[in-house]
């Protein structure tokens, strides 16, 4: 899906307008969804398959379906299985949440939507993946309640929240309009005993028009994000596409971001903070963010950026700041960054190639062991 399509698809200020989003499934797809064994085999999920409609879910965009969906999940046997969410709009209470369990798949039809009922809380969770193992979430759309939110404070209303869980895969999901973050992946508990999430993969996910972040990452060990878009975050700081921010809760290690789009966020495209190591960002487009394209700060270490496009960002395309160390930036394309600080084309700075490169890729004095090779700096075209 293109960024433009993703953005327009999620502009839904009124709950009832959700119905207008979805087209009927093709006949072949309807047949597939009517066959439980087919739905399970598509994800390699053996065992019990439960349709939420069989537990009383209505999917009419009005009725509170939280209990029915949770009942379907809780009805799975210990060995697990698949919960199917067919076409429809399922309203849920994010103060109660949908709580996933181990060894299960939550499979939404392409035209199924899980949408949050308005609340006034500073903190709420639509889908919780806490202290579980071997979980798949795939398909459909998750819509938060930022337009309907009845409170004023807080920034912690989550679409999908993964904490202290292992072997979790999220794919082909669209998330939008959350009061806080579209997604959070991190730990439960306080340092030094916080339990991180491990082996989490995110593929072909669009997280857009959320209020705080497209995706936040706390303490983890092993996260892979591929073919995904994080865009149009705006509302409350930091407003980034992706923010890796374990802070003092623990360590965030071994994170790969590959073939992703981080675009049009009110903050930066990607922020990498303290207690973070072994991050690889490659083949990604990081453009038109109001802040930095990529910012490493606060002793982030062992960061590799390769073959990315960082253009049109309000501040530097890449800023290696704070006490960042062992950062390697190679083969990237940078241009038309620092757009918030235009200069006259006849100024001495505009004629100084080293100054221009500094506006695209800056390395602060406190950073150390930094390598920048074979990057391409396209000419500035936004000066006047």
Q: Is residue 218 included in any domain, yes or no?
A: yes
Instruction: Mark 298-313 as b/e (b = at least 16 C-beta within 10 Å).
Output: bbbbbbbbbebbbbbb
Q: Is the pTM of this model over 0.75?
A: yes
What is the pLDDT, as a whole number, of residue 355?
52
138: tokens are 């795939």
Q: Is residue 297 included in any domain, yes or no?
A: no
What is the pLDDT, as a whole number, of residue 153?
87
Q: Is residue 52 included in any domain, yes or no?
A: no
What is the pLDDT, as a whole number, of residue 348?
52
Q: Is residue 384 included in any domain, yes or no?
A: no
Q: Is residue 38 included in any domain, yes or no?
A: no
- pLDDT (tens place) for every residue of the chain, 384 residues total: 333 333 333 333 333 333 333 333 333 333 344 333 333 334 444 589 999 999 999 999 999 999 999 999 999 999 999 999 999 999 999 999 999 999 999 999 999 999 999 999 999 999 999 999 999 999 999 999 999 999 998 999 999 999 999 999 999 999 999 999 999 999 999 999 999 999 999 999 999 999 999 999 999 999 999 999 999 999 999 999 999 999 999 999 999 999 999 999 999 999 999 999 999 999 999 999 999 999 999 889 999 999 999 999 999 999 999 999 999 999 999 999 997 866 555 545 444 455 557 689 999 999 999 999 999 998 655 443
The boundaries of the domain holding residue 118 are 98-267
Q: Sheet containing 104-108: which strands, arranged edge to edge?
A: 48-51, 81-85, 104-108, 133-138, 166-171, 197-203, 220-226, 252-258, 276-282, 301-306, 325-330, 368-373
What is the pLDDT, as a whole number, of residue 85?
98
Structural domains of the chain, count: 1
Q: Sheet containing 112-116: which strands, arranged edge to edge?
A: 60-64, 88-92, 112-116, 141-143, 174-176, 206-208, 229-231, 261-263, 285-287, 309-311, 333-335, 376-377
Q: Is residue 372 included in any domain, yes or no?
A: no
Q: Is residue 355 included in any domain, yes or no?
A: no
CATH number at residue 235: 2.160.20.10
Q: Is residue 208 included in any domain, yes or no?
A: yes
């Amino acid at each position: 899906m293109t960024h433009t399509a993703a953005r327009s698809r999620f502009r839904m200020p009124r709950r009832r307008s959700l119905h207008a989003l979805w087209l009927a499934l093709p006949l072949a797809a309807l047949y597939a969804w009517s066959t439980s064994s087919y739905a399970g085999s598509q994800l390699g999920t053996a065992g019990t398959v439960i349709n939420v409609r069989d537990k009383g879910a209505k999917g009419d965009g009005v009725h509170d379906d939280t209990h029915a969906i949770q009942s379907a999940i809780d009805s799975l046997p210990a060995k697990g299985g698949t919960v199917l969410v067919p076409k429809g709009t399922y309203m849920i209470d994010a103060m109660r949440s949908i709580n996933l369990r181990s060894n299960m798949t939550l499979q939404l039809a392409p035209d199924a939507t899980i949408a949050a009922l308005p609340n006034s809380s500073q903190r709420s969770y639509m889908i919780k993946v806490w202290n579980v193992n071997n979980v798949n979430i795939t398909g459909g759309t998750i819509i938060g309640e930022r337009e309907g939110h009845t409170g004023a404070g807080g920034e912690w209303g989550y679409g999908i929240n993964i904490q202290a869980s292992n072997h979790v895969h999220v794919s082909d999901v669209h998330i939008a309009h959350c009061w806080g973050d579209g997604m959070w992946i991190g730990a439960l508990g306080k340092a030094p005993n916080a339990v991180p999430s491990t082996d989490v993969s995110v593929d072909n996910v669009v997280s857009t028009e959320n209020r705080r972040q497209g995706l936040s990452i706390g303490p983890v060990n092993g996260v892979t994000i591929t073919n995904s878009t994080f865009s149009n975050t705006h509302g409350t700081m930091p407003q980034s596409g992706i923010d890796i921010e374990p802070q003092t809760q623990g360590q965030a290690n071994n994170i790969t971001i590959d073939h992703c789009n981080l675009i049009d966020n009110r903050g930066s495209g990607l922020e990498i903070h303290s207690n973070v190591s072994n991050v690889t960002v490659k083949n990604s487009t990081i453009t038109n963010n109001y802040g930095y394209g990529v910012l490493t700060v606060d002793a982030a270490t062992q960061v590799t950026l390769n073959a990315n496009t960082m253009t049109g960002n309000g501040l530097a395309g890449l800023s290696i700041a704070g006490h960042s160390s062992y950062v390697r930036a190679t083969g990237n394309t940078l241009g038309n960054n620092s757009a918030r600080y235009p200069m006259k084309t006849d100024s001495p700075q505009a004629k100084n190639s080293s100054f221009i490169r500094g506006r695209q890729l800056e390395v602060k004095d406190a950073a150390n062991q930094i390598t920048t090779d074979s990057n391409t700096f396209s000419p500035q075209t936004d000066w006047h």
